[in-house]
Amino acid sequence: AKMEQTFIMIKPDGVQRNLVGEIIGRFEKKGFTLKGLKLTSVDSAFAKKHYADLSAQPFFNKLVEYIVSGPVVAMVWEGRNVVATGRKMIGTTNPSESAPGTIRGDYAIDMGRNVIHGSDAVESAKKEIALWFPQGIAEWKSSAHHWIFE
């Protein structure tokens, strides 16, 4: 599998519940590399752009309200297969069905308070990274790289 990047966002509930360190720690310990990071609040126009694909859904307005309700932590993580593996680490959309050991399975109950976002494909990751980090992200190579990747 190829090196790729994914966009991960800790949602307002994850920030308020002090899960930032725990979540970053899971991605770090897995072996992925942090390439972008910021604590930021977004307005509803921005949240609607991020979730544009879901604009026809009945829950869209509630979803946007939730995302703008407090600061979020926006991140870019890099590594082999990080998009799919990141989704596995996050768990299914409905936390009540997420396996224990996943982030949602361990820390969330309701669908509308599911703590974290992760890109669902390499293409959407590219779009989301460009939206959230228009200024670009850090260029660096971890010195642990060759201990993690063959």
Instruction: Please give the Cα distance from 7 to 66 (Å, whole number).
Output: 19
User: With respect to Mg ion, which residue has the nearer C-beta, 19 or 63?
Assistant: 63
Our separate counts of H helices and E strands in the chain read 8, 4
Q: Directed axis angle between helix 20-30 and helix 82-90, to 10°?
A: 140
Q: Are 31 and 86 in contact (CB under 8 A)?
A: no
Taking CB under 6 A as the binding criterion, the range among 41-49, 78-86, 111-119, 142-150 that sits at the site for ligand DAT is 111-119
Residues contacting Mg ion: total by CB under 5 A: 1
> 80 among the known binding-site residues?
no
Instruction: Determine which residue in the list 22, 84, 120, 122 makes contact with ligand DAT, applying CB under 6 A.
Output: 120
Q: Which residues bind ligand DAT (CB under 6 A)?
A: 54, 59, 63, 93, 111-112, 114, 117, 120
Q: Which residues bind Mg ion (CB under 5 A)?
A: 120
